Amino acid sequence: MNSYEALYIINPKLEGEALKAVIDKFSQLVAANGGTVDGVEEQGMKKLAYEINYLSEGFYVLMNFTSDPAFPAELERNFKISEDIIRFIVIKKNA
Asked if 65 contacts 30 with a C-beta cutoff of 8 angstroms, the reply is yes
Long-range contacts (CB closer than 8 Å, 24 or more residues apart) made by 77-84: 78/26, 78/29, 79/8, 79/26, 82/22, 83/11, 84/10, 84/11, 84/14, 84/18, 84/22
pLDDT of residue 46: 96
Q: What domain count does the chain have?
A: 1
Residue-number span of the structural domain to which 70 is assigned: 2-92
pLDDT of residue 95: 63
User: Residue 76 contacts by C-beta under 8 Å, 6 or more apart in sequence?
Assistant: 88, 90
pTM equals: 0.91
Which pLDDT value is given to residue 2? Answer: 92
Mean pLDDT, each 10-residue run in order, the chain (95 residues): 95 93 94 93 95 94 95 95 95 85
CATH number at residue 16: 3.30.70.60
